[in-house]
Amino acid sequence: MLFGYTQIISLNENESGVFKYVIEHPAQAVQMNIRELAQETGTSTATVARMYKKLGCASYPVFLSRIQAYEQQMPDQNTCAGYMVSALQTTIDLIQKNNDAWQKAVKMICESDAVTVMGCGNCGALAMYAARYLSNAGFYATAVTDVFYPPQLGNTEKHLILILSESGENREMVQQAMLNQKYGSHILVMTGNPDSTLASLAEAVLPIVMQRYLLPQTYDLTSGVSMLYGVEYLGQELLRYNDRIKKTDPKIHVDAGKA
């Protein structure tokens, strides 16, 4: 995180204008001295000085060094696009390499009476999609995105929890896994970190490739395309085991464009 929320909201209108310019034009701003920045933003050097001091910088050079670090952290659009393709291809390769784990996951889902897909943040949104996709494949699933949701206490012998986690180290998700495991639920984890704490708690780990892209104000641009592929791969594999859906007459399928 570049600057704290309380620091940013402490800026007055003129100081906020300078800050906004710097964040939107970091490459240009780091080349300017304090007078040039004041002139470019229609303010004064005193305004610029108050701005960087409120942001916790002892001097203008210190402020510029932090902005320069911010600029270097910004992902290039072409690089991101290339990374997404690379991450997806590597995930496909990982699935083929670890096919036994994925087939074990398929078997676990098939043998379950109830499936709960859990995730928080961006993975929470993917958890909702995953629950819907697994249900579409004929294996009814529900999503839980509240990390403090109470565990299922009874009838857990055939209850499976699929946890989606980029890092595998979210403290609340780890606690959820431990608590649900304590009451007899089976744990399956899809993560970008197969050596994580969550992975160590799972009966089967589904590794994917995810690299974090975080912007200074906590904006998370980490691509979920690999996890999405993993979810759909599971669904497609499960489809082969659902005789009811396999025998469905294609003529009665609803046209997606009219749904």
CA distance 52 to 121: 31
Nearest Cα to Cα of residue 117 among 68, 157, 163: 163
How confident is the model over 46-66, as pLDDT tens digits? 999 999 999 989 999 999 888
User: In percent, how much of the chain has pLDDT > 90?
Assistant: 49
Note the pLDDT of residue 76: 55
Question: What is the per-residue pLDDT across 132-187, written as a single tens digit (0 to 9) for each?
Answer: 999 999 899 999 999 899 888 887 889 999 999 988 999 999 999 999 999 999 99
pLDDT at 220 over 80: no
As given in the structure block, the two tokens for residue 127 are 């958890």
Q: Would you place residue 92 in the very low, low, confident or very high pLDDT band (cuts 50, 70, 90)? A: confident
Of the pLDDT bands very low, low, confident and very high (cuts 50, 70, 90), residue 4 is low
